[in-house]
Structure 1
């Protein structure tokens, strides 16, 4: 029997062993050697194909999937770019920071399927715990191979090869591991690693070992020429592994830009442009009415969920730094580590009203707000107690002097909040801008000894911008609780329409409400004309305030101060924190008047609905104003006595 000298036939290095021509040459003159179909399939060089194209041809989803059957890139359009970028020649590590229900795990498994078919090699899939690992093996990875004809051909046919902790294929082995088992993470050199829900991993696999992520990544050291490491998770906190990887380890970070189905304008979808009716602020009503839409930043078209899906289908990935497309950025930088950010509102499986509902719930509940940030915005939760420091507050100051209003037409109105004390009244006057961002600028703050002095500060003194335009204080709220409730009621009566008294409660069914008071407290003495009291949920608005103070200077929605802000006022903004019951408190009983005034300012902003005010354009208003006409000639007005007076 003739022997074949494989050394005389060089084997090309690539996605396959031999071309058809080389197979023919190899078998010529050797009548006793024939290659089986399986051998020819293994040795044959396969035609290059992009992973996103391969997925539509060969990837099938199980019957219990949200969209069962053959994989379609149009279902989750942002997935195609991640699939293709994962196998870009220079890329070794792919970070996907995504909200739940965005198909991030299916993207991982599709990449595994492509690797088995096109670039075979062993793989390690790491889950947070053993139960989750075994369930994903039997419920998701194994069905992927059984339901997809191309992948099914790689099964060995032996039941023992489809265990819950290991799937053995004809050309590769997929090992399942869990983050708290160092043994499952070690001693397996391989080119592919999937780290799923990484933020749920323990800090270390055991007390003596490194982090699960580091242990798993070490398995790929000997495969530097072809290794791929997928790291996917919803974020938890700023110091969590997925957010740290996205913001500090990635050479390129990509955001998904969508195209408006009406005007075609590209834009990065942001939560600020998800809108709902002005009076729809109750989470229960939002859940019942399901009324929310997205405003196009270019043409102001209101997208419903179907429009949003069309916009996403026409979208593209762009790098966060320079706005380049996916291919251009990859070809230019040739990065090793890349990242993708996917908020929930890009997903066809999440309705816009669900995003709005989660946000409204979060305004009144700290834990719900954490869930909104992690589960919808795909952003980390910031620890309030750590972030709020005096230096942080002082850093919010701009270059304006005390008392000056920002110019440029960005101010919608001036509002005021006051805290009543036995020895005087603390106040803050603040300018608020247009839109949902709630950008604001501190104008004046301090303490006055009497109610007359407070009236002078609020309504007699003038506040101008650099152009000389005068801004009156449109509305104010004043704390009515304590020893001076009757005085507060009388002061608010004297200035009806300008100011209302308030009473804070730790929890309420709604963010705020009104209560008519007919008598002075502790007596039967009637209040002339009565007074309307604003009752509000202090936790709800303090949660809002804490979140706003985390916004960096210069970013949309920042809580600005003027340059003369005192250190004492800044200190008063830092003394309150949340206890283990989720309630705001002042544990050391330090002065917190600035914090209380700021809370009332947010309440005033909510009561007036400033976020929904249309922005005025002085130029358009001047252009639309008609030229003054000549005054009409004087005419005699005849008064006719009403008939009912003659009865």
Structure 2
């Protein structure tokens, strides 16, 4: 043996001579844990007093506690992952045994191991217990750490092989609401992981940690409801009455959410964020249910985040930014309030949308619309397109909805789309706009779509692939092969994944918005010209329903209520194009620049007829109906008999 190995064996032998001292996880952390500077906002010795609400949580995780399962449903910026790391450290150092740590995917598991676990085992007192990964047969890899008396395995919930890797006395599952419904078609990953603990009986420790997601589908919520359901009560500095911090009691001056304060629900005293320094150390956990005696459940929101971490003002500011966007509001509700989101997947009433139509001309951009995007749905015998104008706060105006008739395998219909993409649309203020980005579906006639999109370039046309499993509205574009005549083309293409389920929920939230009299419309409000009833039926043709998958677990999926849903798909793709342009992140200065550019156009001479929007010519043509035309009556464009414009009905 070399000197390093000899020293390591000697240290382990000396530790074996020392009598065991039974420490809870919080006591171990206060005595031994050091936070590394590269991973912690407050590096240095761990102090449970900084997050006093975690003391009871960590004590319930301890080997000496009577609980077999600990559930922590918590918001952001509370230290929940650090509490789980303290358990990991105490197991490696103090109560060795087989330990399994499960993250949503293998990739996140690798990242978690490098960013969170490695700094823990590299610091004292764990340094040396897990050998240097550079030494021969160290037993220290990214996903496996050997230590005297035990083994820590890190894996992803999407890997059934990883979940079957070994028995585990200690099982830590972080962000369980991000776990897939099925692990390699072998069943629920939580159930698979828990099965690895059964041989340890009452000595096992199962830790579930997560922010919640959707009501009825949230694993962490279901586990919490099976527990004794503890909440953290804190006293009011003024009247001393204990209460659970509630979002309804957070108030701020008009237009200044950063100045938010907490109003005691008993005495009405207003407390600023600094009051938490007095309230938190005096708080206590109170159970609201009996439970089964083996599960301790804890719920806590980000309103309890310690001073210096996340203030009430920051939470309120985030709320103001998110409240008009259902997707962002859902994330805010989950991560800040630690509450599940109640999905409203039922379709808005198409009749109400039809009744609130506005009288602006089809094909003209109303005042307030500053950027145009388009969405294209590809069918066997036609293309359907919507051009949408966007303004501040993602307020939108449908400019025109067109059906381009012709086989999608032939060139004619794509030439019609070329014409529409190159058209200019007059604005109410006298300027002109063209489409800044067009999103086209690649689910049908894929290679034809690829070839057409490639001719126009990635800055103008974004091919999209819709999926209900994409976790973001618009993902990062990835390269694909484009073929022609069976041969790959030299210059490739990038396709954008689109979370159509997320965008449909966002759109339905916008469609439910109501104007308050003559007040400006809320952010996200959707305006429509006098389209006929069929357009609004298509726009609201789907609803979100709960189904049970093959493994018996619930899932939400979108279901058609009507045969025609092209208007919904077109609007989703047009929205994806707007988000890809970053319109949801534009500051006021950027909107002002675009508005100023429009003013400059107003000073230019009027457009000659040949360059005007084709919609202007169509608007002067009386509606007509032809046999075989899908959907409602549409006006015939003089530019081509294959084109059908959506007209008022």
Q: Is 1:41 paired with 2:11? A: no
> How far did residue 201 of structure 1 move?
1.3
Match of 1:305 among 273, 281, 284: 273
1:359 equivalent among 319, 330, 335: 319
Give the match for residue 171 of structure 1: 149
| Structure 1 counterpart of 2:333, from 373, 378, 381 | 373
Deviation, 1:292, is 0.7
Partner of 2:575: none
CA contact (8 A) 1:142 1:167 kept: no
1:236-285 deviation digits (Å, cap 9, x = unpaired): 111334344334432x11111112233332110000011101x22xxxx6
Is 1:141 matched up with 2:121?
Answer: no
- Are 2:178 and 1:186 aligned? no
1:40–1:299 distance in 2 versus 1, CA, 3 Å:
same
Which of 172, 180, 184 aligns to 1:206? It is 184
CA–CA distance in structure 2, aligned partners of residues 41 and 79 of structure 1:
29
Answer whether contact 2:347 2:543 (CA < 8 A) is retained.
no
Q: Is the Cα contact below 8 Å between 1:122 and 1:191 reproduced in 2? A: yes
State how far apart, in whole Å, the 2-side matches of 1:129 and 1:199 are. 12
Q: Which residue of 2 aligns with 1:219?
A: 196
- Which position in structure 2 is the counterpart of 1:338? 296
User: Is the CA contact 1:73–1:79 (under 8 Å) kept in the aligned structure 2?
Assistant: yes
- Structure 1 pair 46/365, CA: closer, same or farther in 2 (3 Å)? same
Deviation, 1:167, is 1.2
Question: Following TM superposition, by how much is the alpha carbon of 1:152 offset from its aligned partner in structure 2, in angstroms?
Answer: 2.3
| 1:50 is aligned to 2:34 | no
Structure 1 position 386, deviation (Å): 5.1
Provide the secondary structure at the position in 2 that maps to 1:225. helix
Contact 2:226-2:295 at 8 Å conserved across structures: yes
Match of 2:155, SS state, is strand
Q: Secondary structure at the match of 1:534?
A: coil
1:162 counterpart = 2:137: no
Q: Which runs of 5+ in 1 are unaligned?
A: 1-34, 323-332, 390-418, 423-478, 484-504, 513-531, 543-574, 581-585, 589-647
Equivalent-residue separation in structure 2 for 1:241 and 1:370 (angstroms): 13
Which of 55, 65, 69 aligns to 1:89? It is 65
Partner of 1:17: none
CA distance in 2, matches of 1:215, 1:480: 53
* Cα deviation code 1:9-28 (max 9, x no counterpart): xxxxxxxxxxxxxxxxxxxx
Alignment partner of 2:37 out of 63, 66, 72: 63
**Deviation by residue 1:598-625 (Cα, 9 ceiling, x = unmatched):** xxxxxxxxxxxxxxxxxxxxxxxxxxxx
Structure 1 residue 535 displacement after superposition: 3.4
Q: Could you give the per-residue CA deviations for residues 67-110 of structure 1, whole angstroms, max 9, x where no partner exists?
A: 11111112222111100112253311111111222211111110
Seen in structure 2, the aligned counterparts of structure 1 residues 72 and 420 have a Cα distance that, compared at 3 Å, is closer
Using the TM superposition, give the Cα deviation of residue 306 of structure 1 relative to its aligned residue in structure 2, in angstroms.
Answer: 1.3
| Matched-pair contact (CA < 8 Å) for 1:507–1:539 | no
The count of residues paired between Structure 1 and Structure 2 equals 373
- Which residues of 2 match residues 623-642 of structure 1 at below 5 A? none
Q: Which residue of 2 aligns with 1:129?
A: 105
- How far is the alpha carbon of 1:223 from its aligned partner? 0.9
Distance in 2, Cα, partners of 1:507 & 1:344: 34
Deviation at 1:234, TM superposition (A): 1.2
Distance 1:420 1:220 in 2: 54
Aligned with 2:22: secondary structure? coil
Whether contact under 8 Å (2:333, 2:339) holds in the other structure is: yes
Deviation at 1:155, TM superposition (A): 2.8
Q: Distance in 2 between matches of 1:355 and 1:189?
A: 41
Residue 152 of structure 1: SS of its match in structure 2? Answer: coil
* 1:240 match: secondary structure: coil
Corresponding residue to 1:255 among 231, 236, 241? 231
Instruction: Give CA deviations for 1:559-604 in whole Å, capped at 9, x if unaligned.
Output: xxxxxxxxxxxxxxxx979989xxxxx998xxxxxxxxxxxxxxxx
Counterpart Cα distance in 1 of 2:389 and 2:249 = 30
Equivalent positions of 1:549-564 (< 5 A) are none
1:612-623 correspondence runs (5 A): none
Q: Is the 8 A contact 2:346 2:543 kept in 1?
A: no
Contact 1:154 1:171 in 2 (8 A): no
What is the RMSD of the two structures over their aligned residues, measured on CA atoms?
A: 3.7
**Bigger-Rg structure (1/2):** 1
Separation (CA, whole Å) in 1 of partners of 2:49 and 2:133: 36
2:246 match? 270
CA contact (8 A) 1:92 1:227 kept: yes
1:537 and 2:537 equivalent?
no
Q: Does 1:321 align with 2:289?
A: yes
1:235 to 212, 227, 231: 212
Out of 241, 251, 259, the residue aligned to residue 291 of structure 1 is: 259
Partner of 2:266, secondary structure, is coil
Provide the residue aligned with 1:594 in structure 2: none
| 1:152 paired residue among 127, 132, 142 | 127
Contact 2:229 2:299 in 1 (8 A): yes
In structure 1, what is the Cα distance between the partners aligned to 2:133 and 2:238?
54
Q: Distance in 2 between matches of 1:243 and 1:182?
A: 20
Structure 2 vs 1, CA of residues 421 and 259 (structure 1 numbering), >3 Å: closer, same or farther? Answer: same
- Summarize the Cα distance change of 1:40–1:536 in structure 2 as closer, same or farther, 3 Å threshold: same
Distance, in Å, in 1 between the alignment partners of 2:86 and 2:353 is 62
CA-CA distance at 1:230 after TM superposition: 0.8
1:72 alignment counterpart:
47
Q: Is the 8 A contact 2:100 2:172 kept in 1?
A: yes
Check the 8 A contact 2:542/2:561 in 1, yes or no.
no
CA drift of 1:309 comes to 3.3
1:50: Cα distance to partner?
Answer: 2.7
Q: SS of the counterpart of 2:141?
A: coil
Shift of 1:380: 1.4
User: C-alpha separation between the residues in 2 aligned to 1:83 and 1:108?
Assistant: 8
Equivalences for 1:412-423 in 2 at 5 Å?
Answer: none
**Cα shift readout 1:416-457 (whole Å, capped 9, x = no counterpart):** xxx9999xxxxxxxxxxxxxxxxxxxxxxxxxxxxxxxxxxx
- Alpha-carbon separation, structure 2, partners of 1:82 and 1:74: 13
CA distance in 2, matches of 1:181, 1:170: 27
Task: Report the Cα offset of residue 533 of structure 1.
Answer: 6.2
* Partner SS for 1:81: helix
- Asked if 1 retains the 8 angstrom alpha-carbon contact of 2:72 and 2:224, the reply is no
Displacement of 1:350: 1.2
Alignment partner of 2:277: what SS? helix
